[in-house]
Amino acid sequence: MLRATLTYDTLRFEYEDFPETKEPVWILGRKYSVFTEKEEILLDVTSRLWFTYRKNFPAIGGTGPTSDTGWGCMLRCGQMIFAQALVCRHLGRDWRWIKGKRQMDNYFNVLNAFIDKKDSYYSIHQIAQMGVGEGKSIGQWYGPNTVAQVLKKLATFDTWSSLAVHIAMDNTVVMEEIRRLCQSNFPCAGAAACPAVESDVLYNGYPEEAGVRDRLSLWKPLVLLIPLRLGLTEINEAYIETLKHCFMMPQSLGVIGGKPNSAHYFIGYVGEELIYLDPHTTQPAVEPNDSGCLPDESFHCQHPPCRMSIAELDPSIAVGFFCNTEEDFNDWCQQIKKLSLVRGALPMFELVERQPSHFSNPDVLNLTPDSSDADRLERFFDSEDEDFEILSL
């Protein structure tokens, strides 16, 4: 656990720069050349929200741990992939963070949703305590599927983002289910069904009227998370080309997974190496300064990102995609169908129009955020991700 105790300052000089290669660099749907666009690559990486271990935050549950060092790496990776969804939702994929430049309010709204305090939508406190409700003690490691299920539940409270979160199980994405989920909000029939809301009312620090506008739209922005097992103890090389293509799609949110006992957030690849953000750096918890502003530099990785061989990837992962509009989703479906025709690329999951007949369990079918079977659903699917359990406090 040596890496878990390193600080940002000691780590910033240990990373290799990008190799001088003719191979393209893919970062979350964007293609770059190392020779002509190195600065653009590093700016894109730096602009991703980087969540790491923290120390000295308010005790989880009031009496629990004040640091997640040694047990929170997958929770932090879950935060990073979900933060990328919120960035795409509220700022756009082309948004960039530049050190010292004043950022728009929506940026700080996104960041505040992940700050280490109990009332932030997706804080370490919320994720850990939601796990308690699922029979997991605080300090127990989550696998990719578990953190995806918890984030889905937390998203139902985030009326500002108003996301439709779908977790595709059994290696199958059912288009009909997703359309039903994303098209479930239609304009109110009358004033009684949609009472007026005062414009200055804030919910969790965000203007509620933004949530009202989104609830009146015909398509809720989709966060699609697909937990997968791509081999027994190591990744089946037949899936590697398909995994690479996922990073090429403009809808890509990246991948959460890693090596046994060590979770990472993968944001792209170059050649046969994955590019990732590593949460295994302990930094002090951040509080607003005297002027009320939140210092944000420690939430951006300002050194070249880490790389590892694709062959070293643990086979238990979750792949993420964001479709802001129905057109985005239709385009994603077409790309997945074309991907199945790529020679040497074994599909990681199946894309079908309607529910397959072998999906007979009702818990499998009811995946909406309001599902009364959500508790049973998580226990039904939770594999505990095999090699990843590491410790309990």
Calculate the CA 344 to chain-centre distance. 28
Report the distance separating Cα 352 and Cα 333, nearest Å. Answer: 10
Pairing mode, strands 316-323 and 222-229: antiparallel
How many CB atoms neighbour CB 236 within 10 A?
13
Report the distance separating Cα 126 and Cα 114, nearest Å. Answer: 9
Pairing mode, strands 222-229 and 206-207: unpaired
Are 59 and 293 a contacting pair, CB within 8 Å?
no
Q: Give the type of residue at 319.
A: V
How many CB atoms neighbour CB 108 within 10 A?
16
Report the distance separating Cα 203 and Cα 159, nearest Å. Answer: 8
Are 28 and 94 a contacting pair, CB within 8 Å?
no
Alpha helices in 91-187 (DSSP H): 105-112, 124-132, 144-155, 175-182
Burial class (CB in 10 A: 0-12, 13-18, 19+), 220: buried
Secondary structure (H, E, C), 12-43: CCCCCCCCCCCCCEEECCEEECHHHHHHHHHH
Q: 3-class DSSP state for residue 29?
A: coil
**Helices 144-155, 73-90: crossing angle, 10 deg rounding:** 40
Report the distance separating Cα 229 and Cα 382, nearest Å. Answer: 12
Residue 113, sorted as left (phi over 0), alpha (psi -120 to 50) or beta, turns out to be alpha
Report the distance separating Cα 268 and Cα 27, nearest Å. Answer: 4
Q: 3-class DSSP state for residue 237?
A: helix
Report the distance separating Cα 223 and Cα 166, nearest Å. Answer: 6
Residues marked as catalytic: 73, 278, 280
